[in-house]
Copies of this chain bind each other. A is one copy, B any other.
Amino acid sequence: MQLRLGSIVEALGGELHGDPRREVDGLAPLESATPSQLSFLGNARLLSLLPSSKAGCVIVAPAQFEAARARGDCIVAPHPYLYFARVTQLWKRLSSPPAGPAIHPSAVVDPEAVVHPTARIGALCVVERGVHIGPGTVLKARVTVAEGCVIGDRCTLHPGAVIGADGFGFAPNAGVWEKIEQLGGVRIGNDVDIGANTCIDRGALADTVIEDGVKLDNLIQVGHNVRIGRNTAIAGCAGIAGSANIGAHCTIGGAAMILGHLTLADGVNISAGSFVSRSILKPGHYSGIFPIDDNASWEKNAATLKQLHKLRDRVKALEKKT
């Protein structure tokens, strides 16, 4: 596919400095872009990469205009990274083939499910009884939405996602586990993205709730009765245990784990790989990761760590003496 620079600014705004008839056939980072590609300077700290970029055109912020124009063609826009996002959307829209049927014939959709006519259900999906799927929502291939779950508008569910499996609930009874049937559902708001093979369990009594604009990456586990506030983004392999209450506008890094029944305030950022074992009621950036080291050093430090409390006592004793 080829796109004229003039068509891009016509569709997305921004100020083109250069030849509107110049065509680009792809998008690429500054370092690797060729003269037939469009690039962007999303972060002023990468300014040093600009002069030598071979890109046919670069999207820049107004503050970088002079540097960019000295190099060659550019599009000036207040938020170059956002502008770039919109170019990807334009590109995708123009390069996609005409859509097939709204519900792929291989999908198994219960007659008592309600799928909006503008929603799309991919190959080999399962949509069970009582499900509602809103306008513009897309289920890619092999997604399961179990009984009674509700999915809002303009959501995207990637392959293998499972919405509404039973929450993990059992009552102990003389050494064996007795099932607590999970009678709640899952309610997913609008503009939610759910990654491949991610699981969101149905609630025990009330519903599990994913609010508008939440973005979940792949292979994430969301337990029963969790609530994830609007526009929170969670990276791959994270786990959110049952009844956790995650605020809005949070970011949770990959493989982070949130214990059950905790609360995270709005605007909390959890580093990848961290284990959240207590509620966090103030916005901010939180971490808890064992630093990686060469194995021999790690072994020595880990062994000392197992004696750390005693080491503290020894320091205390020394302090008393001196």
Interface residue ranges, A against B (CB under 8 Å)? 26-29, 32, 79, 81-82, 84-86, 88-89, 91-92, 97, 104, 106, 108, 122-124, 126, 128-129, 140-142, 144, 146, 156, 158-160, 162, 165-166, 168, 170-173, 175-183, 191, 193, 195-197, 199, 201, 204-206, 213, 215, 217-219, 221, 223, 231, 233, 235-237, 239, 241, 249, 254-255, 257, 259, 270-278, 280, 284-295, 297-309, 311-312, 314-315, 318-319, 321-322
Contact = CB atoms under 8 A, between A and B. Distances in A.
B97 A108 contact: no
A197 B171 CA distance: 23
Contacts of A122: 126
B140 A142 contact: no
Given A144-B159, A219-B219, A301-B309, 9 more contacts: A91-B181, A97-B129, A158-B166, A165-B218, A254-B257, A271-B295, A291-B302, A301-B307, A315-B315
B295 A284 contact: yes
Nearest to A241: B254
23 contacts: A28-B206, A85-B181, A91-B183, A122-B126, A160-B197, A165-B196, A177-B231, A195-B199, A219-B219, A219-B221, A237-B239, A241-B272, A257-B272, A271-B298, A274-B292, A275-B290, A275-B292, A288-B289, A288-B298, A291-B305, A301-B307, A311-B311, A314-B319
Contact of A286 (B28, B128, B141, B293): B293
